[in-house]
Amino acid sequence: MKNFLCGSGWKMYLTCDETVDRLKKLQDNLKDFKDFKVVVFPSFTALADANKNLSSNSCVHIGGQDMFWEKEGAYTGEISARMLLDVGCEYVEINHQERRRFLHETDEMANKKLKCALSTSLVPFLCVGEEKKEDAASVKNFLSHQIKNLLSGIEKKDAQRIVFAYEPMWAIGKYEATDPKYIQTTHKIIRDIIAELYDQTLADNAYIIYGGGVNHETFLDLVALPDVNGLFTTGCGIVPDVFADVILRSAEYLRNQE
């Protein structure tokens, strides 16, 4: 089976009780599932409770939706890597489009967060992607510039731990918008940029997952794409029955390809 995982950012939707309830349902639906990792990103306030409700040997892991780039200090409202690790996080989202759009976060800030995350055991989901749908040459230009900025000063041994989440802003929350041909082209562009920055082996082994408008009717068209190593979905991921169905059917599809 190719490298694959499914992630879901639960954004700013659920209280602690709602998070725990959905996490329990998700785990019940997935029972002994082991084919690949499933990562859920609840709100900060629900992480500790979420962690307490992860069953032993669960395929479900948790992560923080963001973190700050300093280890500790007078940074009101921010969350450190150590705090995420303290409540059982193994993953952290960095550079999500909504943080760029609403909080004006930049490549430079994301680069600092990425370096800080990689100095710990956290695995970053590094979001990349353009704002507007463009032709392949323009997207390549944009992504090349963005990924170089984001990975500036990051060594190969650390880069190989990153999960790259291609999430174009124009596709997020637009459930009719997935365009498999465009997505495959872009994932290949991202893999080529990684190969250019590091080497082909690292690029071939990199997880490059897709997020933005993944929908329950067409997700298998994305799973089938050679350079797609997973799905990152809020729309399908926040409903446990739907998310479990996406995960189980993706695994079945991938097993049948072997």
Ligand X SMILES: O=C(CO)COP(=O)(O)O
- State the minimum distance, in angstroms, from the CB of residue 125 to ligand X: 8
216 a catalytic residue: no
Q: Which is nearer to ligand X, 176 or 258 (CB)?
A: 176
How far apart are the C-alpha atoms of 192 and 198, rounded to whole Å? 10
- Report residue 215 as tokens: 């929908």
How far apart are the C-alpha atoms of 59 and 148, rounded to whole Å? 32
Q: Which is nearer to ligand X, 37 or 96 (CB)?
A: 96
Q: Which is nearer to ligand X, 152 or 173 (CB)?
A: 173
- State the minimum distance, in angstroms, from the CB of residue 126 to ligand X: 12
- State the minimum distance, in angstroms, from the CB of residue 200 to ligand X: 28
Interior/surface letters 62-97, b for 16+ CB within 10 angstroms, e for the rest: bbbbbbbbeeeeeeeeebbbebbbebebebbbbbbb
Chain centroid to CA 161: how far? 13
Q: From the candidates 61, 96, 98, 105, give the one annotated as an active-site residue.
A: 96
167 a catalytic residue: yes
Q: Which is nearer to ligand X, 68 or 232 (CB)?
A: 232
How far apart are the C-alpha atoms of 118 and 158, rounded to whole Å? 6
Binding site for ligand X (CB under 6 A): 9, 96, 167, 172-173, 211-214, 232-235
- State the minimum distance, in angstroms, from the CB of residue 209 to ligand X: 10
**3-state secondary structure (DSSP) of residue 231:** strand
- Catalytic residue IDs: 96, 167
